[in-house]
Amino acid sequence: MSEPPNPKPRLVICVGDIHGFITKLNNLWSNLERSIERSEFETATVIFLGDYCDRGPDTRLVIDFLVALPSRYPRQKHVFLSGNHDLAFAAFLHLLPPPPDGSPFSDGWKEYSASEEREGWFSGEGFENMHLQGRRWSGKIKERFNTVKGTEYQGSIYDAGPTFESYGVPHGSADLVKAVPDEHKKFLTDLVWVHEEDDVFINTEDGSKCCKLIAVHAGLQKKVDVKEQLKLLKARDTRVPKVEALSGRKTVWDIPEELTTSPTIIVSGHHAKLHIEGLRLIIDEGGGFKDKPVAAIILPSQKIIRDTDVLAE
pLDDT at 18: 98
CATH number at residue 186: 3.60.21.10
What's the pLDDT score for residue 279? 97
pLDDT at 46: 98
200 domain-assigned: yes
More confident residue, 190 or 260: 190
Residue 5 lies in a domain: no
Average pLDDT over the chain, rounded to whole? 95
How many structural domains does the chain have? 1
Query: Is 269 a domain residue?
Result: yes
Share of the chain above pLDDT 70, in %: 97
CA distance 266 to 211: 10
Q: Which helix (H) or strand (E) holds 232?
A: helix 226-235
Confidence (pLDDT) at 129? 94
In residues, how long is the chain? 313
Domain containing 91 equals 12-96+181-306
164 found inside a domain: no
SS (H, E, C) 125-146: CCHHHCCHHHHHHCCCCCCCEE
Query: Could you tell me which residue, 52 or 144, shows the higher pLDDT?
Result: 52
Does residue 251 lie in a domain region? yes
Nearest one of 93, 86, 84, 88 to 53, comparing CA atoms: 86
CA neighbor of 24 nearest in space, from 313, 312, 305, 299: 305
pLDDT tens-digit profile of 94-144? 999 999 999 999 999 999 999 999 999 999 999 999 999 999 999 999 888
The confidence score (pLDDT) of residue 3 equals: 45
User: In degrees rounded to 5, what are phi and psi of residue 300?
Assistant: -85, -10
Domain membership flag for residue 59 = yes
Say if CB 11 and CB 297 are below 8 A apart: no
Question: Annotated catalytic residue: which of 19, 85, 217, 270?
Answer: 85
82 found inside a domain: yes
The band of 303, judged by pLDDT with boundaries at 50, 70 and 90, is very high
Cβ atoms of 59 and 18 closer than 8 Å: no
For residue 24, pLDDT beyond 60: yes
Residue 57 confidence (pLDDT) above 90 = yes
Give the whole-number percent of the chain exceeding pLDDT 90: 89
For residue range 111-123, what is the model confidence (pLDDT) as tens digits? Answer: 999 999 999 999 9
Gap between the Cα atoms of 136 and 293, Å rounded: 27
Asked if pLDDT for residue 151 goes beyond 90, the answer is no
Summarised one tens digit per residue, pLDDT across range 205-243 is 889 999 999 999 999 999 899 999 999 999 999 999 999
Query: What distance in Å separates the CA atoms of residue 228 and residue 221, rounded to the nearest whole number?
Result: 11
85 catalytic residue (yes or no): yes
pLDDT value of residue 2: 45
pLDDT at 206: 86
217 is a domain residue: yes
For the chain, state the CA radius of gyration: 20
Predicted confidence band of residue 86 (pLDDT cuts 50, 70, 90): very high
Averaged pLDDT for residues 184-199: 98
Task: Assess whether pLDDT exceeds 90 at residue 302.
Answer: yes
